[in-house]
Structures are given as C-alpha cells and as structure tokens.
Chains A and B, each alone.
Chain A
Amino acid sequence: MTAAGPPVEVLTRRLLETPGEFLAPTTVVPALVADLLALHGAVSLDQAAGALLRPLESPEARNWLGCVAVSSWLLADPTLVAPGSGERAWVFLTGDDLRELASLVPAPALVSEPDRREELARRALAALELVPAGETEAEAADRLTTLDSSERARVVAATREAEVRAEAVREAMHAKAAAEAAAKASRE
C-alpha cells in the first residue's frame, strides 16, 4: 500500500542543502539517528541498535555511516515526517539497500551529484512507501531503475565481462586460425 509523497524536487533540493557537518568525520551518527527517530515518533534508540551505528575503522564502514547521516538529514524533511514512520525510517537507514548504495557511491556524492541525489530521494520515498507527487507507482519504479546505482554497477560489470570474453574469443580464433585444424571429409 503506498501513499502520495512530496515531489522529488523538494527532497533533492533538501539534499543539496545538506549542512556540511552531516558529512564531517566527527559527526556522531547515532545521535543524528536518535533525533530523527524521535521526530518520526519512534521510541528512542536502544543500546544494541546504537551499537550498529558506532564509527568503524574500515573506509567502507565510514562511507556507509556518511550515507546514514545524509539520509537522516533527508528523512527529517517535514514532508516525510509522519507518526508511525519511525520503523520504516530505521529499516531504511540500516537496511541492505542503503548498504549496497554505500558500497558503490561515496557519501558526498549523495549531495553533490544530481542523479545520486535523486536516487537517494526516490529510495527513501520507496522505503517509506510513498509515491512522488505527480507520478504513478509504475513511473516511479521505472525512474528508480534508471537511476539505480547497483543496477548500473551490475551492467558495467557485465559489460566488462563481455569485453574480456570478446577479447579472449578474438585472440583464440586468431591463434587457432593459424594452427592445425581437424580433418573434414568433404568441402562446401
């Protein structure tokens, strides 16, 4: 079941205006998330959940936390804040979608790159079960597929794989064309 959300442009504009401290290495992400969940009417962050958001040493983990911080700023937009949406917000912030996005996109790009802003905005809307204003569910899904970084990464990987294979076939055929064939009993 989905409901009408705000226009995507409202959210991309908010992302463009993300305060610099949300991307600072010193940001205390659990505090940002706790504030956000309170805004959405959720109970405050418990200890175990907070531990999920503790700063970690690996660059990948730090980038993911950066994405969580930017997403927290986004989800705090008044057009998205609604009673009872805290759980969905939490699932989005800690779920596989955002982790996969973080594995492919540097957190600052969610602010600086137009397509990545739109992608994050649309992913957030989908996670909150909202459809952007002025769009049908199908149109929204299509547009998200177009922007989908993980899908793009899969296509790029598949293309690269195809290029490697094509080169291997080319090399093998040239080598075999200069090599001994197998006997055939007739000609065409």
Chain B
Amino acid sequence: MSPTPEGGLTEEERRPLIDNEGRALLSKLLEDPRAPRYNHTCGDRLTTAGLARVRAFEQETAARTGWAQGRPPAWVAGFASRVSTQVPAYRRAGALPARFNQIPTVSRADLVRDPYGFVPDDHPLDDMVVYTTTGTGGTGVAYIASTPEAAASYCVLLGAALGLHGLALEGGPGRTAVAQVCWQRSTYTYASVSSFLDQGATCKLNLSPADWRAPGDPEAFLEAIAPEVLTGDPVAFARLASLDVDLQPKALLSSAMALLPGLRAELETRFGCPVIDVYGMNESGPIAAGLPDGSGHGLLQPGLYVEILDPAGRSCPPGERGEITLTGGFNPALPLLRYRTGDFAALDWRGGLPVLVGLEGRAPVHFAAADGRAVNTIDVSVALGRFPLARFSVHQAADRSLTVGLDGSGRAADPGVREVLGELFGEVPVTVVDLAGAEEAVSYSSELTGG
C-alpha cells in the first residue's frame, strides 16, 4: 500500500500543527547527509479538531472494552442501522433484517467493484485521503477512502499493540518515534512529524541500496535517528537484521504478512526487544496484535466487532475456526458492515475480552499427502516456522508434487525444509526455488480441490 503522489497541498495544509521543535526535527531527518533520497512529501494533516478526535480515540482504545460471547456489543445495532441507510453499498441490500446475523456480508470484491458506494452520504469529501492497494487476493486494485484522523489513528493502535506487551509509544519532540522499514524494489519514502506524537517524527525508509547515497548510509542513518519502534514486514525485518546496524528499539511491529515463529525468535535475539505481529488490513487498519505468550492476538480497536463465520455465513462457536468478519472500525470514510476479510481464525475469551486464536491470513488451501490424506496449512506453517525464513511459498500441483519458494536468505534451510515437508506429505517430489525479488509471495496455493 502506498500513499499516492503528491498533489498540491500547501505546507499549512500538510502539517497544520507543526511547531518549531517539530520543524527542527523534520529538517534534521530531511537534511542529514546520510538520509535516504526521499521521494515523497507527507504530513499528518491533523487540525486542532482532528487531533482532539484522535486523542479521544486513544482514550477509548485504552479502555479495552470487548463484548460477551455470542452477543454483539451494544453499539452495533445503532451502527448497523445508521450505515444501512447512509452508505449506498449497504442501502442496496434493502431494509435491515431483524437480526444482526441476517445482514448480508460484503467482501473485498464488493469494495473493488464499487469503492465509491462505501463512502457514507454524509461524509465530507474535502479532507478525504485515498489510498490504493492491490492486496494478494487477486481481486484487483481497491481504492480505500480515509481521513487524516484515521491515518493518525494508526499510531494509537500501534500504541495499543505495544500496550499488550507492557510498553507504550511515547514520541515527543526531537525523537523519531516510528521508523517504517521496507525492502522493496521501489516504494514511497518520506519523513514526517506527528502532532499526535507531540512533534515526534515518523519516517518511511526503503532499505534497497538504490534509495541511498552511499553504502553504509542506511545503517548510519538508522543509528542516528534511533527510532523508538520499528514497523515493517517480515521481509524488511529479515533484511534489517542482516545489516551491521546497532539499534535498541522498544519493539518491532511486524505487519502485512504472517510472521513466522522462527524469524520472530531470531529478530528478538538480534534486536533485544519484543517482536509483535500486528494483524490488519487496509480496509480496517490494525485489528489485533500478538500476545506476549504467543497464545493468540488481542483485539485493538474499541469500535470494531469481530465475528467468525463459516462458509455459509453462520457464526462459529468459540474456538472454531472461520472467516474473520468485521463491523465498525475507526475510518469514517469506510464503515464496515459484516466485511469478510478472507482471513481465518477462531475467537476465544480471556478475562472477558475476545482474542483471535490460530490466525491464518489466507483462505484455506487444500493440500494432500502422497497417500491422499489432507494436510493442514497450519501444520505446514508450524513445520516451516522452525526455520528463520522471512517468507516462503508452497504450491502443490495436481500430481501432488510441491514447489517450495524460499526467500534468498533462507536457502541454507533447504535440506531441513525438505525433511519436514517429507514428514508431512510423505513421498512427493519437492522442488525448491528462490523467492528473492518476488514482491509479496502468497504463502500457499494448490491445484487440488477440497472434499
């Protein structure tokens, strides 16, 4: 996901609340001789009123409310009633059914087909922000309408993810609060100052050598700005870990792809801090974050109701896996009403709060062993998760042969990978290929059909 090219904002519109300390920090980030060749300009666009709303959202988030098993939270009925009349995409479904679980679900395909229909009738268009995303579901480009406040709320939710681990995102003047690292052929990069983080900075950096002026600059620059936390995906973090860089962040927040336990352990050792898996999607922002004991993902958003549905759209009982389906959210330009995510997990309750368990960010893929026995993708994740891989892909052909893609840094694991796959699949041919250079590998695919 990338912010779109800049278009005509004044500095006042881009950073309405920046002060002298913020300006000084921004200049430092932009003018440091070791800084990357930023290719984008971006601010938080937060006004005084907008900042007040983000702070109010932070307070709500800190309260960590949930809902009782089998009963939607009280706000859901009013929300559903409002969006069913105010949002064209939901209004088309007709009158709201008497029971919440009878409301038709929507999916990314609906959003791709008609992104405009998800913007409420009463949502102002002047201050809208639009992101585009391709995702990995093969449904095409989705336009996501959003607001500067929703963008700033990401920091609130990253703070909530840290809170699950007894940490906090502090920010403050003169400090780089969040550095987002990427390892991509190309992506937008920028430095910004956040009024929500009390004039602390956020920046987005691509570790690709082409983005920097000289070798060694990425390491030197990151050490100079000493970010409070780092965000990124597992591929970027694996790359970061391979650099000769001395960083002491509070935490690494990993998103966008499943973080495998082997890599998480390696990163935790390398950076001496928790590595937190944050589950989210462009449509909703961060949804849940991995708990310290690894037993599940705690929900982050106070106004997001999560259901787990079976293929027929029925609610799964606690502990039973199904499709994660969302209602609510913090983005007023894209209210979600029973939005099927295409991701799978079960819901469990801990201390009265719902928790996602067994999160798997993809639709179930049908794998079969040599003898025809079904092989669960979770088993494959567990087996391959023992290796320090940034990512992998497993494709099974109709003849049950496997093609396993390993990120370049994981090729050394080749013999071990073959061995654990043999344990799961039996005697099937395995071809190992290099994933280096692939943009976003889908982990699992199969030519076999379920049954």
Q: Mark A155-188, 1 if CB is under 8 A from B, else 0.
A: 0000000100110111011011111111111111
Contacts of B125 in A (CB 8 A): 168-169, 172
Say whether B286 contacts A186, CB under 8 Å.
yes
B199 close to chain A: CB less than 8 A: no
Tell me the minimal C-beta distance from A13 to chain B in angstroms: 37
Residues of the B chain whose Cβ atoms lie less than 8 Å from the Cβ of A165: 121
B59, CB-defined interface residue at 8 Å? no
How far is it, in angstroms, between the C-alpha of A144 and the C-alpha of B312 when the chains are bound? 39
Q: Which residues of B contact A178 (CB under 8 A)?
A: 4-5, 7
Q: Once bound together, how far apart are the Cα atoms of A168 and B123, in whole Å? A: 11
Who on chain B is nearest to A166 by CB?
B116
Contacts of B133 in A (CB 8 A): 188
Inter-chain CA distance A185–B286, complex, in Å, is: 11
Instruction: Report how far A185 CA is from B1 CA in the complex, Å.
Output: 12
Measured between beta carbons, the chain A residues less than 8 angstroms from B116 are: 166, 169-170, 173
CB distance A185 to B130 under 8 Å?
A: no
Total count of chain B residues near the partner, CB < 8 A: 57
Q: What CA separation (Å) do A183 and B40 show in the bound complex?
A: 10
- Do A188 and B280 touch across chains, with their CB atoms under 8 A apart? yes
Is the Cβ of A186 less than 8 Å from the Cβ of B6?
Answer: no
Contacts of A170 in B (CB 8 A): 116
CA distance A188 to B233 in the complex (A): 8
Give the number of chain A interface residues (Cβ < 8 Å).
22
Complex Cα distance, B128 from A182, in Å, reads 10
Q: Which residues of A contact B178 (CB under 8 A)?
A: 185-186
B256→A187 contact, CB < 8 A: yes
Which of B45, B121, B158 lies in contact with A182, CB distance below 8 A?
B45
User: Is A177 a contact partner of B130 (Cβ separation < 8 A)?
Assistant: yes
Q: How far is the CB of B117 from chain A (nearest CB, A)?
A: 7
- Docked complex: A130-156 residues within 8 A CB-CB of B: none
CB <8 Å contact, A166 and B128 = no
B15-39 contact mask (Cβ, 8 Å, vs A): 1 or 0: 0000000000000000000000000
Among B8, B42, B190, B231, point to the contact of A186 (Cβ < 8 A).
B231
Please report the C-alpha to C-alpha distance between residue A179 and residue B253 in the assembled complex, in whole angstroms. Answer: 28
Does B151 lie within 8 Å of A181, measured CB to CB? yes
* Complex-state Cα separation, A178 to B125, whole angstroms: 15
Mostly, the B contact residues are: mixed
Residues of chain A lying within 8 A (CB to CB) of residue B1? 187-188
A44 to chain B, nearest CB (A): 50
Q: Which residue of A lies closest to B194 (CB)?
A: A183
Could you tell me if B255 and A182 are in contact, using CB atoms closer than 8 angstroms?
no
CB distance from A186 to the nearest CB of B (A): 4
Rounded to whole Å, the gap between the CB of A71 and the closest CB of chain B is 35
Interface check B354, CB cutoff 8 A: no
- Given contacts A172-B125, A176-B129, A177-B143, is CB(A182)–CB(B148) below 8 Å? yes
Q: Are B180 and A186 in contact (CB under 8 A)?
A: yes
CB of B128 within 8 A of CB of A173, answer yes
Given known A-B contacts A168-B125, A186-B231, A181 and B194 have beta carbons under 8 A apart: no
Do B130 and A176 have beta carbons less than 8 Å apart? yes
CB distance from A176 to the nearest CB of B (A): 4
- Is B231 a contact of A185 with CB atoms below 8 Å? yes
Rounded to whole Å, the gap between the CB of B433 and the closest CB of chain A is: 26
User: Is the Cβ of A179 less than 8 Å from the Cβ of B9?
Assistant: yes
Q: Nearest CB to that of A172 among chain B residues?
A: B125
Cβ A173 vs Cβ B115 within 8 A: yes
User: In the assembled complex, which residues on chain B have CB atoms less than 8 Å from the CB atom of A166?
Assistant: 88, 116-117
A183 touches B42 (CB 8 A): yes
| Docked complex: B279-326 residues within 8 A CB-CB of A | 280-282, 285-286
Which residues on the A side are within 8 Å of B180 (C-beta)? 185-187
Q: How far is the CA of A185 from the CA of B154 in the complex (A)?
A: 6
Q: Within residues 96 to 133 of chain B, which ones have a CB less than 8 A from any CB in chain A?
A: 115-117, 119, 121, 125, 128-133
Q: Identify A180's interface contact among B14, B146, B152, CB under 8 A.
A: B14
**Which residues of the partner chain A approach B194 to less than 8 Å between Cβ atoms?**
183, 185
Tell me which residues across on chain B come within 8 A of A172, comparing CB atoms: 125, 128
Which residues on B are within 8 Å of A, measured CB to CB?
Answer: 1, 3-9, 14, 41-45, 88, 115-117, 119, 121, 125, 128-133, 143, 145-148, 151-152, 154-155, 158, 178, 180, 182, 190, 192, 194, 202, 204, 231-233, 253, 255-256, 278, 280-282, 285-286
The 10 sampled A-B contact pairs (Cβ below 8 Å) are A176-B4, A176-B129, A180-B8, A181-B129, A182-B151, A183-B3, A183-B151, A183-B190, A183-B194, A188-B281
